[in-house]
Structure 1
Amino acid sequence: MSLNLILMGLPGAGKGTQAQYIVDKYQIPHISTGDMFREAISNETALGLKAKEYTDKGNLVPDEVTNGIVKERLAEDDTKPGFLLDGYPRTLEQADALAQMTEDLNKPLSAVINIDVDPKLLTDRLTGRFICKKCGATYHKLYHMPKVPGTCDVCGGHEFYQREDDKPEAVKTRLKVNIKMNTPLISYYKDRNLLFNVDGSQSIDEVWQKVDQILSSL
């Protein structure tokens, strides 16, 4: 029985780490929209070239092209044991298209894993990062402070800065956009009894134990 999964979660929820664990243990390909686009474009498939026309101009790739690229990817041989979709679907229209293509390919979804973390905690996680101006070493207010306050462990520099997209306002906007996008999808998969919520505020290992438990039971 193949393991056909979608992984969901807000920025900073720890999706990337869990995706790696799932791929390593269950030996299924991790399919993210970015990778799919890059692959289709570099292989110069008809849909890849179509997508390139949009991305070159900085425009969003329309659904019918995105859906076509996903279907091409899911039809490849390495998805026989299953797949892990990340970053798709993003809209209810895409979710409907995915339901249709998984039916056409006879690869029905097994589960949707949503790593659920309170947005306030995510704000703390995402805004805590700061960087040494001199050498680029990265620190975090919650998880990794310099050994000597105000002094970089690597180069001894004393000036630090925060990236624009790590600043509180930018992070809040990013989370708001993602919450708005994810909420209808969470309801959609809950209604279809495919949704499993995992508390992502726990340690990485505890989250993985829970995810692994769910996948082993499928």
Structure 2
Amino acid sequence: MTTRIILIGPPGAGKGTQAARLSEALGVPAISTGDIFRANVKGETELGRTAKRYMDAGEYVPDEVTNSMVADRLSQDDAKDGFLLDGYPRTRAQVADLDAMLEERGASLDHVVELTADVDEVVGRLLARASLQGRSDDTEDVIRHRLDVYAEQTQPLTDVYDQRGLLRQVDGLGDVETVTERIRQAIGA
């Protein structure tokens, strides 16, 4: 059985935590563009230096960089029977690019899970994470800007996926186990 899922939600809604848990439960890789960008930043690769400029300003990394990275990752053997995308797509253009990538493989999405969360709760979560991890991209101003960018550019994707009958909205607040169970019920897993 294949499982192809996208997790959508504002920064700090718990996508990364839930992606890791669902990946293990469903036996598919969790593919996080944020993790890939941060690994490149840490490794000081050319992509990492480019991505860092955008991340530090709270902006998205340009589509052409992100799309080629995602296409390469989806072509790897461990993703042939499914995947869980965390942080991609973020724009309508990326939706079209992902559609093309999947069509090329004769595949389609099974579910799009939107984790919803209160803005002030998300800001608090991200500030706490920044303090613990020393992340330069998580100041309050940058966090609020990222949330504004999310609302403007990414949230409209939920309309696209809702029209396709793929969208499942799940409350992302609460303890980790409870949120995981909500997601599993929403996707019938």
Q: Normalized against structure 2, the TM-score is what? A: 0.77
Unaligned runs of 5+ in 2: 55-59
Matches within 5 A, 1:1-218: 1-36=1-36, 52=47, 55=50, 58=53, 62-127=62-127, 138=132, 165-167=138-140, 169-217=141-189
Name the count of aligned residue pairs. Answer: 178
Alpha-carbon distance in 2 for matches of 1:33, 1:178: 15
Q: Aligned partner of 2:50: which letter?
A: T
Q: Aligned partner of 1:77: which letter?
A: D
Secondary structure, counterpart of 1:165 in structure 2: coil
Q: Normalized against structure 1, the TM-score is what? A: 0.68
Alpha-carbon distance in 1 for matches of 2:80, 2:146: 35
Larger displacement relative to structure 2 (31-40 or 111-120): 31-40
Given that 1:112 and 1:189 are in contact with CA atoms closer than 8 Å, whether structure 2 keeps it comes out as yes
- What fraction of aligned residue pairs are identical, expressed as a percent? 40
Post-superposition offset of 1:186: 1.2
**Structure 1 runs of 4+ with >4 Å offset:** 34-40, 56-62, 127-131
- In structure 2, do the counterparts of structure 1 residues 56 and 63 end up closer, same or farther at CA, with 3 Å as the change threshold? closer
Superposed CA RMSD in Å reads 3.3
- Structure with the greater alpha carbon radius of gyration: 1
Secondary structure, counterpart of 2:155 in structure 1: helix
Bigger share in helix: 2
Larger relative contact order, structure 1 or 2 (CA cutoff 8 Å, min sep 6)? 2
